[in-house]
Amino acid sequence: MRALVLGAYGLIGADAARALLRAGFDVSGVGRDRAIAMRVLPQVDWHICDLTKLDHAQWQALTKDVDVVINAAGALQDGGGTNLSAIHEDMPRALCAALAGSEVRVVQISAAGVSTEASTEFFRSKARGDAALIASGIDHVVLRPTLVLGHAAYGGTALLRAAAALPLVDWQMMADSQVQTVALPDLSAAIVACAQGDIANGTIADLTEDQARPFPELVAQMRQWMGLPVPQIKLPMPQTQLRMLAKGADLMAPLGWQSPLRSTAIRTLADGISGDSTTWHAAGGAPCRSLHQTFLDHPATVQERWFARCYLLLPLIIGALSLFWLASGLIGLSQYSAAVAVLTSREVPESISIVAVGLGSLLDITLGILVLWRRHVRRACIGMIALTLGYLAAGTVMTPDLWLDPLGAFVKVIPAAVLALVPLALTENR
Local confidence pLDDT in tens for the 430 residues of the chain: 999 999 999 999 999 999 999 999 999 999 999 999 999 999 999 999 999 999 999 999 999 999 999 999 998 887 767 889 999 999 999 999 999 999 999 999 999 999 999 989 999 999 999 999 999 999 999 999 999 998 877 777 888 898 899 999 998 988 889 999 999 999 999 999 999 999 999 999 999 999 999 999 999 999 999 999 999 899 998 888 888 888 888 888 888 887 777 888 888 888 999 999 999 999 999 999 999 999 999 999 999 999 899 888 999 999 999 999 999 999 999 999 998 998 898 888 999 999 999 999 999 999 999 999 999 999 999 999 999 999 999 888 888 888 888 877 788 889 999 999 999 988 876 6
The C-alpha atoms of residue 9 and residue 40 are separated, in whole angstroms, by 6
The C-alpha atoms of residue 161 and residue 400 are separated, in whole angstroms, by 47
pLDDT of residue 153: 74
| Residue 214 contacts residue 175 (beta carbons within 8 Å) | yes
| Residue 130 contacts residue 91 (beta carbons within 8 Å) | no
| Residue 140 contacts residue 107 (beta carbons within 8 Å) | yes
User: End-to-end distance of the chain based on CA atoms, in angstroms?
Assistant: 27
